[in-house]
Amino acid sequence: MKAGIHPNYHYVKVSCVCGDEWNTRSTQPGEIKVEICSNCHPFFTGKQKLVDTAGRVDKFYRKYGMKQA
């Protein structure tokens, strides 16, 4: 690796609106504030709901002879 071309990494605190905080490294010095994280995102918490648009899920289940969950 060439010397002098890579950015400097700083330790920063990341804080989410849900109250979760953690430390990481970034090229941006200071604090990083995010609106959603892995502790409050519906995909990671298991609260995500499957939205059936135009009956596509039902069509898939009928096509492959599967029972709905």
- pLDDT tens track for 6-44: 889 899 999 998 888 999 999 988 899 988 888 887 666
Report domain extents, the chain: 10-63
Q: State pLDDT tens for residues 46-66.
A: 666 666 666 777 788 888 888
Fold of 10-63: Rhinovirus 14, subunit 4 (4.10.80)
Residue found by looking up tokens 């499957």 in the block = 50
- State the Rg of the chain over Cα: 21
Residue pair 20/39 in contact by the 8 Å Cβ criterion: yes
> Is the pTM here over 0.75, yes or no?
no
Residue pair 32/26 in contact by the 8 Å Cβ criterion: yes
